[in-house]
Amino acid sequence: MQRRDFLITALCSVGLPQVGVADTKPRILATTGMLGDLAQHLCQDFALVENLIEVGLDPHSFRPSQSDIRKLVNADLIIANGMGLEQQMEPLLEKLAKRAPLYFAGQILDSGALLPYSQDFPDRHDPHVWMDIDLWSRILAGIASALVEQFPIQTDAISRNLSDYKSKLRSLNAYANEVLGTVPVDQRILITAHDAFQYFGHAYGFEVMGVQGISTDSEASILRISDIVRTIVKRKIPAIFVETSVSDRNIRAILEGVRAEGGQVVLGGSLYSDSMGSPGTYEGTYVGMMDHNITTIARSLGGQAPKAGFEQKLTGVAL
């Protein structure tokens, strides 16, 4: 049986939602941690918010298990990124959208705000929109509307929470512009494991080179690696970055390649791209993940950032 058929059969066999006596709060299931963070801030304690894709897993390649499918079917609202991020789950999400409340968060953004996926796919858009804090704030507003529609009795609380978190994200965006603006112009080039940072580069004025493409499903070519090695040596780029949810193999090959060419580059740190940090840590929140990325990038590329970042809560810059 093909994977797609398996998923659809599994979905049909899971049956109707089973709500336990203790489960009186609505259950909201977000695919990624970044979406779950927005839903959690908007709902506070009136709903139980859970993330489907666990910390450190890659949403491009994530395939739901039977118990994941059960969670999806039992949710009172599913929030997915859409735009091809949850690539392996697309057939299942499309199927679910016909029988369960499912909100695709990317739909609030008009195409003028979106970046292209690649030249090979002119009709598709880059799904990594959380990397631009202003765009993510618009996604927050879209999720708030979806929550109001689903839970109208909570309208006042959602509106209040929306206003509070929007204001926090506005401050974070101001911090990003200020701190990243201290990076010397000729060093504003961000080299990472895969192309998750195009929106970041677009918003904060950085050229971005991902070793792998927008999705992690294609292997980086030798040609791409040697092209990046040449760029680093020629432009004297001081640091490159690994990502917590993507293998560091290619980035390490680049480090070796640059050194073999007589260039100097260091590992600037580990960035949170498609997954946040561990639950319960500062980096396990959207604000913490972005603070970590902004602060790490600025420091590694010759800029200046306050000792402990935006909120004085950074738990350490992973190398």
Binding site for Zn ion (CB under 5 A): 196, 274
Which is nearer to Zn ion, 197 or 282 (by Cβ)? 197
H or E segment at 240?
Answer: strand 239-243
Minimum CB–partner distance for residue 128 and Zn ion (Å)? 6
Which is nearer to Zn ion, 199 or 204 (by Cβ)? 199
Minimum CB–partner distance for residue 197 and Zn ion (Å)? 9
Handedness of CA 202, 207, 213, 215 (dihedral sign): negative
Which is nearer to Zn ion, 34 or 239 (by Cβ)? 34
Minimum CB–partner distance for residue 92 and Zn ion (Å)? 19
Task: Say which residues have a Cβ less than 8 Å from residue 267's Cβ, sequence separation at least 6.
Answer: 239, 240, 241, 242, 251, 255, 319
Burial class (CB in 10 A: 0-12, 13-18, 19+), 153: exposed
Which is nearer to Zn ion, 186 or 217 (by Cβ)? 217
Burial class (CB in 10 A: 0-12, 13-18, 19+), 7: buried
Handedness of CA 188, 189, 193, 199 (dihedral sign): positive
Q: How far is CA 45 from CA 42, 133, 263, in A?
A: 9, 24, 53
Distance, in Å, from the CA atom of 212 to the CA atom of 193, rounded to the nearest integer, reads 6
Which is nearer to Zn ion, 59 or 64 (by Cβ)? 59
Which is nearer to Zn ion, 37 or 274 (by Cβ)? 274
Minimum CB–partner distance for residue 6 and Zn ion (Å)? 25
Tokens describing residue 5: 């058929």
Minimum CB–partner distance for residue 212 and Zn ion (Å)? 9
Minimum CB–partner distance for residue 221 and Zn ion (Å)? 18
